[in-house]
Amino acid sequence: MTMKNVLVTSCCLQTFHGLFVSRPSEAILPVQRNGQIITALYDYQPPATDTQPTLAWLTVMQEAYLNLAHNSLNLCAVLLPRILASDKSEVISDSSHTIKILLQDCV
């Protein structure tokens, strides 16, 4: 993903999505590693003007947070506010959907 190649980034996001959707146990994906991946994915947040990659990134983040919440609600609560810290209104708007899904799933 550090190569800034659109195809590589897309494939990496698909791979992460597949990992998080499978809801791996803590033995396979420890909560600390899940949190580290979430934190690292912020470095690859696409520009809000690039709609398709932004939606893909938000989908991966949603699943990453959902997986983290299933294994450690406390760590999820610590990391979650960052998704709203964007200075891009489009990202904040779309991330509110992610938070809604998290609340429905976790509460």
* C-alpha to C-alpha distance for 47 and 105, rounded to whole angstroms: 28
Letter for the amino acid at 105? D
- pTM exceeding 0.95: no
pLDDT of residue 83: 84
Domain of 86 in residue numbering reads as 33-43+52-106
Distances (CA, A) of 41 to 1, 56, 106: 10, 12, 22
Is the C-alpha dihedral spanning 67, 82, 47, 96 positive or negative? positive
Distances (CA, A) of 96 to 20, 47, 61: 19, 17, 12
2: pLDDT strictly greater than 80: no
- Per the prediction, the chain carries an average pLDDT of 88
Letter for the amino acid at 30? P
Greater model confidence, 21 or 5: 21
Greater model confidence, 76 or 106: 76
For 33-53, what is each residue's pLDDT tens digit? 999 999 999 999 888 788 889
Letter for the amino acid at 69? A
In a domain, 15, yes or no: no
- Total domains present in the chain: 1
In a domain, 65, yes or no: yes
In a domain, 12, yes or no: no
Distances (CA, A) of 98 to 61, 93, 103: 8, 9, 9
